[in-house]
Structure 1
């Protein structure tokens, strides 16, 4: 049986955090036997915001090491750097020529990022969704794991693929969204009304996967909760619900077991328990990461192999697209 193909991308900016891991990467790892997975470090997307070149390069390799440490298996999946496959940018241009300005103007992420970076509102930031669409469509993707904040971009991808197929003939597979049932939306520890984000600069906002045990414990102890002092899976207790979600994923315990475990106990005890579960869960990842970062040659070899594997697929799709629009 031919496996369905999944495409996922992650930017090499900031520090990969618990929200990235529980909302995306852990699901990538767990699905490797079920799907034909292509994982992309989307460094071309990163430069829509000014980057220090040396830091971007270092963060790209750091992210690759973290993903491998989390369990991405190159025998089961493909991992590569976006800029190493030229067809991404080339296809994005053709898609740009087939996306109405009105569709792009409605993208909420452009508006949000423009407000955060008013001095750097560039064309790349505006065209970001076209490059994202190219990332996905190049590989004839069946499913794209997306959070709520990326659903609009995937809808645009589906729209442009359907329009292209209508105008030029069947070319692209129409991708479907894949939203994880658990952990899809991990919130900030300091403000549980906001999704945990790499771009949030506050020190107690999120847990980085490479944080030390002391840093993790300190951040969880300061996590925002409420005055009810009841550890229960009540979505209205947004701070506690967020911590419970994290605890449940790391322990694998049911809601009933967890609520019984902390019945009559205060938030202080609960927060320490969450921290200890996270510290223990991240320990093997951090140990593998430490080994991988000592093997730069191995990382380069892995990423080069991944790029050569996916390039075959990308070239085939791009060649067909060029023929369809009359470029060759």
Structure 2
């Protein structure tokens, strides 16, 4: 029997815990916008159910969900071209997540490095949700028969788990129902590092606000943070190999490349041999040009939460239209009386 052909479809999401940073923008949202309106159907969600794997203050969760939505919209996600919704509005995510809990194996979960990193020495005290959330993430993706998943390098393992769950389901029930989705990992700044320590990922929870660019920062703040970012005394090299042991320098070159839609090599062809006194002001100007309009639009959107909620509700209706038939067919394949 011929293998089924699946509609080229992108699915990805962002967890609303803390504020959005430049890392979220370059590593995820900018790519989401770039994939919109092309060869793929694009489905993007605010992954609020993933957020509660660790404690969330209810009011802060509501605020963060709307802020992530505002970030999507201000960056160029068009709710008429893409499906945009918050995960908890589509109950099929939780339902398929449970079904996949019964397909996934404990050994697979034990290999998930992010759980080990997040749980640390307190693994016995964290929520069951934090342990099992890769199964819910697989449900998020496969609920829409997504074929491509834009993710950062640190999420690649979860997409591989999703492929394992799809393959086991198809094998166990002798069907070709779920596709083998592909992770999409590309670009010069898939992992944006701290402006104070180039060996650490830029984080919402870092101690100093100066180590990150928040998507709500205004033009003056963005410029100040880049101009005061940590560097080293050497000039910029003319080739990327020259940045091998210079994490802060490599980070700033990669950020410039991503914002300018250039390669790192192209950036160094322009700035190689020059000092930070020229490069950092140029980076600051480029960042302000790209990011300040986004932060301004985010503020405007956040002043009208009812409109954000309306957009999310409309997106959830569209998501349900795709998800519900796939969930119903999954129940049927597994033998449930419906």
What is the aligned residue count? Answer: 328
Mean Cα displacement is larger for which, 109-118 or 156-165? Answer: 109-118
Deviations 1:200-254 (A, max 9, x none): 3432221111112232233223322223233543331221121112112323456
* Helix, strand or coil at the partner of 2:210: coil
Q: Kindly tell me: are residues 252 and 173 of structure 1, through their superposed partners in 2, closer, same or farther at Cα, counting changes over 3 Å?
A: closer
User: What residue is the counterpart of 1:310 in the other structure?
Assistant: 319
Note if contact 1:247-1:277 (Cα within 8 Å) is conserved in structure 2.
yes
Using the alignment, how far apart are the partners of 2:106 and 2:272 within structure 1?
55
Q: Is the 8 A contact 2:115 2:130 kept in 1?
A: yes
Kept in 1: contact 2:234–2:275 (CA 8 A): no
Equivalent residues of 2:13, 2:47 under 8 A apart: yes
1:267 paired residue number: 276
- Taking a change above 3 Å as real, the CA distance of residues 58 and 262 of structure 1, as seen in their structure-2 partners, is same
- Mapped to 2, the partners of 1:226 and 1:145 lie a distance apart of 33
What does 1:220-235 align with in structure 2 at a 5 Å threshold? 220-230=226-236, 232=238, 233=240, 234-235=242-243
- Does residue 188 of structure 2 align to residue 179 of structure 1? no
Q: 1:146 aligns with which of 147, 151, 154?
A: 151
Shift of 1:259: 3.5
TM-score, structure 1 normalization: 0.93
Provide the secondary structure at the position in 2 that maps to 1:6.
strand
**C-alpha deviation, 1:119, in angstroms:** 8.1
Q: Does 1:15 align with 2:19?
A: yes
Is 1:27 matched with 2:31? Answer: yes
Q: Which moved more, 1:193-202 or 1:147-156?
A: 193-202
Deviations 1:51-73 (A, max 9, x none): 11000011101111111000001
Q: Which runs of 5+ in 1 are unaligned?
A: none
TM-aligned CA deviation for residue 36 of structure 1:
0.6
Distance 2:308 2:275 in 1: 45
Structure 2 gap ranges (5+): 1-5
Give the TM-score normalised by structure 2: 0.91
* Matched residue SS, 2:44: strand
Quote the Cα distance in structure 2 between the aligned partners of 1:71 and 1:12.
18
| In structure 1, distance between residues paired with 2:331 and 2:250 | 50
Listed one character per residue, the Cα deviations across residues 13-62 of structure 1 (whole Å, up to 9, x for unaligned) are 11111111111111111111212100010000000111110000111011
- CA deviation after TM superposition for structure 1 residue 313, in Å: 1.4
Question: Residue 74 of structure 2 corresponds to which residue in structure 1?
Answer: 69
- 2:101 — aligned with what? 96
